[in-house]
Amino acid sequence: MKYVSRITRGRIRHRRAVEIIAMIAMIGSTILVIGSLLAIIGTIIWKSLPALKLSMITQTPKGGYYLGKEGGILNAIVGSLYLGLGATALALVLSLPIVLYLNLYTKKNSRLAGLTRFAFDVLWGIPSIVYGAFGFVLMMAVGLRASLLAGIITVALLEIPIMSRAIDEVMVLVPRELKEASLSLGATRLETAFKVVVRQTMPGILTAVLISFGRGIGDAASVLFTAGFTDRIPTSLLQPAATLPLAIFFQLGTPFPEVQQRAYASAAVLTLLILFISIGSRLLIRRLTKHVIK
């Protein structure tokens, strides 16, 4: 009797120790991750302080900007916004039909659906420079120069797998009964898709759009050959466009410390841009989702 209880007591002590160690590990990793995030933002802002002037975001580069003279990165800010918004819009227009098709029109163990999902998973993992190279080939084939349009198409290709899979993840969770409720009222599958399924998954769709937008606007490699770079703000889709990631890349690559500081300022602008858009859309999500069935 005594023997057994000693073992039991020992085991309880052991299990409690494991519990505590695991908890410390979890809290530790949380602190590490949040700490890294703060460290990144802190470093960027600290390094950019000397270069943070209003002219950075209100002016385009003047002559000799990359040698440390007057000007700003308005060209890259506007270029990135055009490119990010354009590519995300294009990606959404193409992703949504794909995902709705997968979820409402194909059978559960359809070969085609499985293959499509697998393809997206593979495409998700392909480095963006490959998309850049592919976009470049595509561009050459149709006789397009490095331009906003070519950049938008390439970044959209990069975003589609991410967006499609993220939307798909939430759409497979829509209960069959909910779709049946709509169908049994005499709605077609298309009406069910747009009026019920899209509404029900709106928070997930918006999150997917945000993730892809963040990925698209922050990507340098895919726009390197396709969007080009210019000091001017593009006024048409066929003109080249500057982007923030490339602006950071070029400025960081100069030997002048004051220009390198501007690279950090550009990074701060890019980070804040994504932050503001995230916060803005979170607020939007709250308004759009009051009807969602939990």
Q: Give me 1's structure tokens.
A: 């009797």
What residues have CB less than 8 Å from 89, skipping those under 6 apart?
none
Least Å distance between CB 98 and another protein?
20
Q: Out of 17, 38, 185, 275, name the contact with another protein by CB under 8 A.
A: 185
Q: Out of 188, 236, 255, 287, name the contact with another protein by CB under 8 A.
A: 188
For another protein, which is the closer residue by CB, 54 or 293? 293
| Dihedral sign from CA coordinates of 48, 49, 50, 54 | positive
Q: Does 285 interact with another protein (rule: CB under 8 A)?
A: no
Task: Indicate the SS3 state at residue 231.
Answer: coil
Q: Does 293 interact with another protein (rule: CB under 8 A)?
A: yes
For another protein, which is the closer residue by CB, 3 or 177? 177
Q: Does 111 interact with another protein (rule: CB under 8 A)?
A: no
What residues have CB less than 8 Å from 67, skipping those under 6 apart?
254, 256, 259
Between CA 137 and CA 128 the distance in angstroms is 14
Q: Does 112 interact with another protein (rule: CB under 8 A)?
A: no
Q: Does 290 interact with another protein (rule: CB under 8 A)?
A: yes
- Report phi then psi at 72, rounded to 5: -150, -165
Least Å distance between CB 206 and another protein?
14
For another protein, which is the closer residue by CB, 109 or 236? 109
Q: Does 175 interact with another protein (rule: CB under 8 A)?
A: yes
Between CA 274 and CA 276 the distance in angstroms is 6
Closest of 239, 90, 243, 101 to residue 158, by C-alpha: 90
Least Å distance between CB 117 and another protein?
16
Q: Does 114 interact with another protein (rule: CB under 8 A)?
A: no
Using CB atoms within 10 Å of the CB of residue 183, give its burial: 0 to 12 exposed, 13 to 18 middle, 19+ buried: middle
Q: Out of 52, 81, 183, 220, name the contact with another protein by CB under 8 A.
A: 183
For another protein, which is the closer residue by CB, 186 or 255? 186
Q: What is the DSSP string of 166-214?
A: HHHHHHTTS-HHHHHHHHHTT--HHHHIIIIIHHHTHHHHHHHHHHHHH
Q: Out of 3, 5, 177, 255, name the contact with another protein by CB under 8 A.
A: 177
For another protein, which is the closer residue by CB, 51 or 196? 196
Contact letters for another protein, residues 33-52 (x by CB under 8 A): --------------------
Q: Does 236 interact with another protein (rule: CB under 8 A)?
A: no
Radius of gyration of the chain (CA): 25
Q: Point out which residues bind another protein (CB under 8 A).
A: 107-109, 175, 177-178, 180-188, 191, 195-196, 199-200, 290-294
